[in-house]
Amino acid sequence: MLLPSRTALPAALAALLLCACQRQEAEVPAPAPPAAEPTAAVAPVDARGYCPAEPGTAPSGELVATRIAAADGDGSKGLYEGPVWNGDALYFSDFTFADGFPSRIRRLTADGRLETAIDPSGSNGLALGEDGALVAATHDRKELSRFDLVDGSRMRIVGEFQGQPFNSPNDLVIGADGTIWFTDPDFQRAAGPGGQDKTRVYRVGTDGEVTVVDDSIANPNGIALSPDGGTLYVAGGGEQGVLRAYPLVDGQAQAGRDLVAAAVPDGLAVDCLGNIYLTEHNRRRVRVISPQGQELATIGVDANLTNAAFGGSDRRTLYLTGAGSVWSIELDVAGLPY
């Protein structure tokens, strides 16, 4: 049972977010340069300590993932979302299409057992916090929350911008310095009162200050960082969607550029070579994109997709979530856990 929530004190926030950084307004996205040939010879610097010295080789061609877990029925009543590999298990959000979009955090163990970790959670995207805690983008309270997996407690990190609640925080990623980047579309805005006048990408500094990264993508969705922490990736825009890259300089987002167009782009994962794994919801596939914007491979499934994360003991298993299901595929490259 979930214990009563409490508001995070500055000291608690400081423990989660490790140092203060300043922000610079992002400029209007510039066109992407011509795609360059991918390279797998040298692994990028690994800012968060997730990657091995020899990460492996990027996938190529047309691949197919295998369904390894499924909810009762055909998955039409809800979605699995926000996978993250934590310790020796895959954690993800399980939410249903009902009033308030109730959700819980599930755990899929290495031996295939499906367990409930937090119920209710109101969560969508998940990220790794300190000491194995989960940091979640939650729509029930329109906030970023920290969940302690030991005692089930919930702590609010941030829940407003300019005095108004967020729309429905969707996905997030945490940098090596503790800065949080997250997307705020309006998909579950009806889960609670209030909201923003636009859908945006936000940055939460280690001092708790919330600033806008970009408000030009309609319903921004998936978000990820490159292994070296030098580039922020955001997917969104619906049927006429994009995958956009923002260089980060001294923790500041620079002008974004569109890497590829995408139809209903959803979640993102990144491997240790820096390649981006973009899920296309309705097309039921993952597109593997090089940092230069070249498509390297596709990975198909048999239902609508939401998100992706690398896991397993060597983090070379790509896990995919979607319409009431989890899929996996073994790859020759290691990747980031969310």
pLDDT for the residue numbered 337: 97
pLDDT for the residue numbered 32: 45
User: What is the C-alpha to C-alpha distance for residues 89 and 86, in angstroms, rounded to an integer?
Assistant: 6
CB atoms within 10 A of CB 145: 24
pLDDT for the residue numbered 323: 93
Domain extent listing, the chain: 6-28+38-330
Query: For the residues 119-127, what does the mean pLDDT come to?
Result: 97
Confidence of residue 43 (pLDDT cuts 50, 70, 90): low
User: What is the C-alpha to C-alpha distance for residues 277 and 80, in angstroms, rounded to an integer?
Assistant: 17
DSSP 71: -
Number of H helices, E strands in the chain: 1, 29
Instruction: Answer yes or no: is 170 a known binding residue.
Output: yes
201 and 184 Cβ atoms separated by less than 8 Å: yes
Residue 95 has pLDDT above 80, yes or no: yes
In sequence order, the β-bridge partners of residue 6 are: 155
Of residues 140, 171, 266, 271, which has the active-site annotation? 266
Query: For the residues 81-91, what does the mean pLDDT come to?
Result: 97
- Quick check: is 177 catalytic? no
pLDDT for the residue numbered 73: 66
pLDDT for the residue numbered 318: 99
SS3 61: strand
Distances (CA, A) of 128 to 87, 148, 176: 10, 11, 11
DSSP 240: G
User: What is the C-alpha to C-alpha distance for residues 231 and 265, in angstroms, rounded to an integer?
Assistant: 18
Which of 219, 123, 208 shows the shortest CA–CA distance to 167? 219
pLDDT for the residue numbered 99: 81
pLDDT for the residue numbered 273: 98
Instruction: Answer yes or no: is 266 a known binding residue.
Output: yes
Confidence of residue 3 (pLDDT cuts 50, 70, 90): very low
pLDDT for the residue numbered 72: 75
pLDDT for the residue numbered 191: 84
What does the DSSP assignment read for 121-155?
Answer: --EEEEEE-GGG-EEEEETTTTEEEEE-TTT--EE
Least-confidence region, from 35-44, 46-55, 135-144, 158-167: 35-44
Name, in order, each residue with C-beta under 8 angstroms of 224's C-beta and a sequence gap of 6 or more.
173, 232, 233, 268, 269, 270, 276, 336
CATH class of 6-28+38-330: mainly beta
Of the two residues 69 and 1, the one the predictor is more confident about is 69
> What residue type is 298 in one-letter code?
T
Instruction: Answer yes or no: is 221 a known binding residue.
Output: yes
Instruction: Answer yes or no: is 81 a known binding residue.
Output: yes
Please, how many CA atoms are within 13 Å of residue 273, restricted to the half-sphere of its CB? 24
| Cα 242–chain centre separation | 16
Residue 199 has pLDDT above 90, yes or no: yes
Query: For the residues 73-83, what does the mean pLDDT come to?
Result: 82
Residue 13 has pLDDT above 50, yes or no: no
pLDDT for the residue numbered 20: 36
Query: For the residues 195-218, what does the mean pLDDT come to?
Result: 97
Query: For the residues 71-84, what does the mean pLDDT come to?
Result: 83
267 and 306 Cβ atoms separated by less than 8 Å: yes
* pLDDT tens profile 210-244: 999 999 999 999 999 999 999 999 999 988 899 99
Distances (CA, A) of 60 to 38, 233, 294, 296, 331: 11, 21, 12, 5, 10
Residue 65 has pLDDT above 50, yes or no: yes
